[in-house]
Structure 1
Amino acid sequence: MFTAAAQASDEEYRLILTSEAGDHASPLGTAMRLWESLIEERSGGRMQVEVFYQSELGGQQELFDQLVRGNVDMMITWPQTSYDERVGVNYIPYLVLGWDDAIAAFAPDGWVQELMAPIYEDIGLKYIGPFPEGFGGVATQGRYATSFEEAQGLKVRSQPVFPLPQTINTMGFQAVPIDWAEVYTSLQTGVVDGDSSNVIYWDYEYFGDVLDYFVQSSHNFSSYSLLMSDKVWDGMDEEDREIVLSSAREVIDKQFAEARAEDERWIQTAQENGMEYIVPTDAEKTAWVEKVRAEVWPLIEESLGTEIMDVVRANASVPGEPPPADS
């Protein structure tokens, strides 16, 4: 047994790490390079990681399919619900209402983490942890909306992941599910009037020349997931697993420490360069929270199950009780 373990720890790996979004210079691209460098350093070069940036290997669903099949080894991604709708825990609208709330829920020992790990295990993936970005909003051109009534007639792109399109529709917009790689063309050609559920970085940096407004609806807490194929994970010994995990933890800890400041920096940058940033009033946000929770959460319960939603309801903050942290 000792000999086998020693041989296993000498095994060489060439791992593929990718994401559907984020070029080389983006925060996501920087995080992938950090994970790569730490793994290679801590393994003494025995474990090599090849990084592919946004859509270089395919679109969002295609890449997730390849991860599940084991053709891609690692991803930092918005996971797809095509294999198990319970993955939608990551996309439950108004799950958290402010930064302090989100940090506690998505931290390594938080209640959201405890819900998610077993779900990924069932579809053959090792859930390593979250990569939080901040609170999503709705970015549009021409006009904006901070209420159900004002949103009528505005077509906005939604990630094709349940329950995000349903959330956007309930808020009053017309949701058009579109893969990330097709968003810019869709905005240019008028297929949609805007984008939704991303933090302001993506809407300003990638579509700032066609989008005029960003409404901080905060209907979702934008958090990618660090995932690894079980086909690789199950074949690793404890030493190699710890190299992957300890490297990932450093990436995650760094992102938790910097995400809020990074989001605020891009909010300021976007405003300085002509994008109008709108924060709904407390009354407007509460109206959206109550409507979405009343209409979308029951749909989520049908897919995710009562057991999961009971945990969500027991832990989710209520507007004003206490007041959520500023988001």
Structure 2
Amino acid sequence: MNIRAYGSVAVLAVAFGFASGGIANAVDLKIAGQHPMDNIATKVLEETIKEIADANVDLNIKLFPAGQLGSGEQVFGDVAQGVIDMGHTFIYSHNDPILEINSIPYLVGTYEQMRKVYSPGSNFYRVYDEHLAAQGIKLLGVFAEGFIGVGVTKKPDNATTTGPKNVNIRIFSAEVAKLTTDAMGFNSTTVNWSDVVPALQQGIVDGAIGGTAETNLTVLGDAIKYFVPYNTFVENTAFYIGQAKWDSLSAEQQTVMSDAFAKASQKSFELSEKVDKEYMGKLAEHGIEVIALSDDELNAIADHIKAEVWPKLEGKFGKELLEQLKQDTK
């Protein structure tokens, strides 16, 4: 074959590759996760990435778990700026106070309400989606891991009521966290999640709020001695991608990705109750005492928090939005 003929064939081959969605169209993406390798959220994410790869639409996603690419705040900013393609992290409200709706205490009281609130079609999801879009982020789904409790190194006073606890716990960087823990009777200190274990070990804090039973075992582990399942918040993270990166994908690739992450979100609701119960038992097996609350005690704490904290949130969210969010659980 002469060189000119060979060149023509090569050009045709490349053109065919682009037209047929073959190797020439392959897209390599990086997704930053915050969960440890053995966490259920990481396992579901790995299954989702495989499902997308198996769809044969030339999407290759590489996972960087356990905060390898930075904290949740860093990942969010990097995805918005296009430095990282995708993230699966908790969404902080440092750039938009409305995003703090993901941490309204006792907004959700049951696993069925959890599914309803964090799925497309709810007022929560609509507002969350809109405010993430305003920062250049495409929301792909919310992953609800389960209910949050408090892990502590020493037994709190008045552990089953809202009386003074005489322990200082770590809170995340959100006004609602401070308001809630104050109303629960805790003293608090803001500490980055990545620094929680050293802070516990060094006695900077006596405990931490911000993790499910699973997280308290797999992340905090030997650093705590007690776990109180207050169910104050839902541990929720988000699957997201930079809008510019999303717009660069083909319609077929977008559909496959949307469907896969929607499925992962729904799977989280199915797993949350099972995993919460499973790890409550594992905590006890590991020597971490679970301080159980009766339904009446839990309801009394929830009612107190709603009466004390929710009115203070109207200035942040507006009364209309709060009412819309409450409607999601009815």
TM-score normalised by structure 1 residue count? 0.88
CA deviations on 1:113-149 (whole Å, 9 max, x unpaired) are 2332212111111111111111101111121322222
**What RMSD in Å do the two structures reach over aligned CA positions?**
2.1
Deviation at 1:81, TM superposition (A): 0.5
SS in 1 for 2:305: helix
Counterpart check, 1:161 vs 2:174? yes
Q: Does 1:87 align with 2:99?
A: yes
Q: Which amino acid aligns with 1:212?
A: K
Q: Of 69, 72, 92, which residue of structure 1 is paired with 2:84? A: 72
Tell me how far 1:253 sits from its aligned partner. 2.6
The reply on whether 1:13 has 2:37 as its aligned counterpart is: no
1:148 paired residue number: 162
Relative distance call for 1:240 and 1:30 in structure 2 (3 A) is same
SS in structure 1 at match of 2:223:
coil
Q: Does the 8 Å contact 2:116/2:329 carry over to 1? A: no
Q: Which runs of 4+ in 1 moved over 4 A?
A: 6-10
Say whether 1:96 aligns with 2:108.
Answer: yes
Instruction: Give the Å deviation of 1:166.
Output: 2.3
Q: Distance in 2 between matches of 1:297 and 1:142?
A: 29
* Structure 1 SS opposite 2:61: strand
Give the drift of 1:316.
4.5
- What 5-or-longer segments of structure 2 have no aligned partner? 1-14
CA distance in 2, matches of 1:9, 1:301: 50
Within 5 Å, give how 1:265-304 maps onto structure 2.
265-304=278-317
Give the number of the structure whose residues are more often helix, by fraction: 2
Q: Which amino acid aligns with 1:29?
A: T
Q: What does 1:245-324 correspond to in 2, within 5 Å?
A: 245-316=258-329
Provide the rounded CA distance (Å) in 2 between the counterparts of 1:244 and 1:93. Answer: 31
1:157 partner letter: R
User: 2:224 maps to what in 1?
Assistant: 211
Normalising by structure 2, report the TM-score: 0.87
Aligned match of 2:256: 243
Bigger Cα displacement from structure 2, 103-112 vs 60-69: 103-112
1:232 paired with 2:230, answer: no
- Distance (Å, rounded) in 2 between the aligned partners of 1:8 and 1:219: 51
Q: Offset of 1:9 from its aligned partner?
A: 5.2
> Cα distance 1:7–1:136, how it changes in 2: closer, same or farther (>3 A)?
same
2:44 aligned residue: 31
Distance in 1 (alpha carbons) for counterparts of 2:269 and 2:245 = 27
Is the partner of 1:234 in helix, strand or coil?
helix
Distance 1:8 1:23, change over 3 A: farther
Task: Return the alpha-carbon distance in structure 1 between the equivalents of residues 247 and 276 of structure 2.
Answer: 36
1:106 to 118, 127, 131: 118
How far 1:177 sits from its partner (Å)?
Answer: 1.5
What SS does structure 2 have at the residue aligned with 1:129? strand
| One-letter identity of the residue aligned with 2:95 | Y
Residue ranges of structure 1 left out of the alignment (5+ in a row): 318-327
Q: Secondary structure at the match of 1:157?
A: strand
Deviations 1:46-78 (A, max 9, x none): 221111111211122212211221211111111
Instruction: For 2:28, give the aligned amino acid.
Output: R
Question: Contact between 1:60 and 1:179, CA under 8 Å: does it hold in 2?
Answer: no
Looking at structure 1, the residues matched to 106 and 204 of structure 2 have their Cα atoms a distance apart, in angstroms, of 27
Shift of 1:249: 2.1
How far does residue 106 in structure 1 lie from its aligned partner after superposition?
2.3
CA distance in structure 1 between the partners assigned to 2:21 and 2:251 by the alignment: 8
Q: Please say if residues 39 and 218 of structure 2, whose CA atoms lie closer than 8 Å, have aligned partners that are also in contact.
A: no
**Aligned residue type for 1:154:** V
Name the counterpart of 2:7: none
Name the CA shift for 1:8/1:96 in 2 (closer, same or farther; >3 Å). farther
State the aligned residue count: 310
